[in-house]
Chains A and B, each alone.
Chain A
Amino acid sequence: MHASKSGIAQTTAILTIVIIVLAIVAGIGWSGIVTSTSKTPSTLTTTQYQDLVALAKSEGTVTIYGQVDTAAWNQYITAAFEQAYPWAHVVYQTGTSGDNLNKELAEAKSGAVHSDVIEQLQTNFIALENASAIQAWYNPVEVMMGYPSSLLDPTNYTHPFDLNQYFLIYNTNLIKNTSVLPKSWTDLANPIWKGKLAIDDPSRMSATGGAFAILRQNMTQSQWTTFLQGVAANQPYIASSSGAVYDDVSSGQAAIGIGATTDVVSGLSKGAPIGYVWMNPTPILATPVGISKGAPDPYMAELFIEWVTSWAGQYAIGASSRPPTFGPAAQATSLALLTTPLPASYTQVQFSNIVAHNSSLYVSTYTQIFGK
């Protein structure tokens, strides 16, 4: 019996409608799993997680550009992730924050993106966001873990990784009487520290640039400029990074400096003659992670970030001597070596929020005064 023309047309119409509906549903579901930027319930259901794992497994490899040294990353972070997911392979590429930023921007511009995950300074993520080199993605794990909202990115471009606190460091062989040490950041302008102070280049907007920017919030422009000129008059060693500042202080090149908890924790474990003093306010700088736009392995990127923001990932970061963003993990690992904890009354200020969109104002002042 031949099908009538009207029957064929009817069947075709029904099939077409079904396909369209399925496509719409699949599209909603797809974006819900992969690229949803809207808030979803703060629970990660097993079904969603298993979907992500299955999709990630089809990719298998995640490529990460970061600044953590390769040995520490491979020994602690890669090892822990690959233990959790034995089928996964991590390709980690290290570099300085500046070198990596140049590479990330160039890859994004050319469309030949090789990285899946980027670990960068918070301040550099602004440049990456402006260049459309990273993509927003909602990470349910960071909500489940209960990170403080002040440490989360409301736009979902970046996700917690590690967090450095900066304090005053000093050489314990050069300074025996700790009562002479600065009590506040403004004491760095005291002429007694002439030729004895090490700071990282303020125009990099890292430890020193950030600490000075925080002070500006409670000073007039004139007061702030006078303070900066006082520090410059002390002819400090201007290092390329807080790690280099640590080197200057531990070697005895400088007696005091502005250093990072990461370096001090690592140095103390080796028996270096280094001491530290917490200052109020305490500058903090997050080094978050984000997903590259156009990442070759986006599901692996998401799986990795979900893992690294979980307790297991944060603990692995802490085991590598870097302070993870998640406070309890930090206290249990890297910060345990600091016998004098940060006083509870001290204010922690994430200076990247201060300088976020007008860093050029600070940079031009620093360049003018410090000549760098």
Chain B
Amino acid sequence: MTTKVPIAVSAIFAVLFIAPLLYFFGTSTSLNQILVALRSPIYIDAIWTTIYPAAAGTAIALAMGTIYAWIVQRTNVPYKRVLSLLPFLGLTQPGEVRAIGLVFLFSPQIGSINRLFMNMFSVSFPLFNIYSNNGLIFAHSIGGLPFAYLSMSAAIRGIDPILEDSSRLTGGSVTTSLFRVTLPLLKPALIGTYLAMIPIGMANFDYPFIFGQAASSGVNTLATAIYDAITDTSPPDYNTAGALSIIYVLIAIVVVTLFIYATRQNFKYVTVRGNQAPPTVYSLGRLGKYGALAICLWISFISFFLEAFILLLVSFVPFYTATESLIPHLTLQNYVVLFTGYPLFWSAVENSLFVSLVAGSATAILGTFLAYTVVKSKFRWAKLFEYANILPYAIPGVVYGLAMLWLFLYTPALARTLYGTVWALLIALIITWLPFAVRIMAPSMLQLSSELEEASCVSGDRWSGTYLKVLLPMMKVAMLASFTYVFLDTFRELGTVTLLTTPSSYVLTTFIQDLFTASSADLPTAAATSVFMMVVGGIFLVIASKLLGVDLLRREGSVLAPVPTQGEVPIPVQPSKDTA
């Protein structure tokens, strides 16, 4: 089947992913500099601190996300519509604000949880020290929950229930079906999601930047080392930044290679076919369903509500201190000043909404092309796109932002037309977040059988018709999920935009950064802005869930799996010839 369109689109974006970085690496560093970095004990330690907490935190996030997704998708837990929204609330906060919120909770000196623990049990040691590698693992685990839940939800929803029903019919319990049918079917999605999330965790800057401030923490990652080289050194040390960034890319290439190797047998797991039945919903019993509800609420509490509450409290005080009670200082003044005293605030809101809506839409559509090229096409070099896809999120945002700045400034046509406008911001965000859209949609694309496309082709339709009439409807949920995720992430993105923002393209995250750099770093107003972003993000999630939820309800199965009528047999899985 001719697939020139998705391949052409993929090639264009592969070039856009790679070009800024190639220029940056080519002009900033050398092989010798890379070897110097690899011989430095500080950077060796930074490499370890980059990989280990990301890998451990991601594993925990994946476990939480999978459990949560299975409970919501496959059990009769109450309040499903609300529960399906909660994992995404963490995406409504900028990373730096979240990190500061965790400090307010778990700092040995000023953390509220630690102070409560020490006072309650009359001890002098804290319950948990956020200024440590364990703190970084914890932050990665709660930070990775939205992506893990999103990916695994789509994969779980896509499983053919006939296979699970067959297990039940032959006498298997819910647990047996879960471990012997569902989890094996989810294996490629689990592996793919885990390997997709690790580079994201490694490239994270906000958490190690904040937690690394305690000299005893030992938290110093490649991202913070690169940040130091670019912004804390005068003149900027692009040699070191380029060398460390190349190390990042090499690690990411290894991870992606593992991903490709692990998912090479993906055709065995195709389950979505043309005659898809509604998914099975298991009855957990009265006690079981409220136990499942408690699990979901606990996960939501530790991943979002705990830290959101402390930020809410800080937004109502003129300054934050743990050395005296905040109650006498509570005030609405921060919100009054925010809404009436900052003219730039409302233009930042407008720009943020515009940029996020356009970026979310563009990446959802373009992502289907790239996902198709990588997962479905027979294109010989399709796997190269897999590598190109990882670059924007395998590299810390500060590096990609600088690379994009150089791209816009050193290309005369772009310098004259786009630099300094909101469109430069938009292009940078689309390029940065398109790989995420691909990652979200690829597992769902993976589960679509080629029978559907072949049937369309045999009927005489061209690929464009197949794409519009067959693939897009089947990918609708994944696209909406991708749009939701990218909207929320671009809404809170800072690293990519900070160097490209101008007064006319001011967004909320640069507004918050502005507050952080103000005299006595206006934390309470930054917290108030973050609360505002949470409210806007929450409203958006409710709207998005109504669009996603309609589809969910239509595919909702009965509580007990239906017994097949005579003559109906489960359709065996046949190897497909259209995958590598």
Contact = CB atoms under 8 A, between A and B. Distances in A.
B520 A246 contact: yes
A27 interface: no
B322 interface: yes
Interface string A250-269: 11111000000011111100
A247 B521 contact: yes
B519 A263 contact: yes
A106 interface: yes
B220 A371 contact: yes
A92 B234 contact: no
Interface string B500-536: 0111000000000111111111110000000000000
Contacts of A205: 234
Interface in B339-358: 341-344
Contacts of B228: 201, 203, 372
Interface in B466-517: 498-499, 501-503, 513-517
Contacts, number: 183
Interface in B185-239: 209, 212-216, 220, 228, 230-236
B419 interface: yes
Contacts of B319: 250, 267, 270-272
B420 A114 contact: yes
B318 A270 contact: yes
B114 to A, nearest CB: 12
Nearest to A112: B415
B42 A371 contact: yes
Contacts of B235: 101, 105, 127, 130-131
Given A173-B324, A253-B109, A266 B519 contact: yes
Contact of A72 (B234, B420, B501, B518): B518
B503 A93 contact: yes
A236 B131 CA distance: 12
B221 to A, nearest CB: 12
A272 B321 contact: yes
B73 interface: no
Interface in A126-172: 126-127, 130-131, 171
B402 A102 contact: yes
A216 to B, nearest CB: 19
Contact of B341 (A71, A114, A363): A71
A225 interface: no
Given A69-B517, A102-B230, A102-B231, A244 B213 contact: yes
Contact of B321 (A126, A173, A243): A173
Contact of A243 (B213, B410, B517): B517
B406 interface: yes
A348 interface: no
B328 to A, nearest CB: 10
A363 B234 CA distance: 10
24 contacts: A69-B514, A69-B515, A69-B517, A71-B518, A93-B502, A102-B236, A106-B409, A110-B409, A110-B410, A130-B235, A201-B232, A240-B209, A246-B520, A252-B110, A253-B107, A253-B110, A253-B322, A266-B518, A266-B519, A271-B329, A359-B234, A370-B215, A371-B220, A372-B228
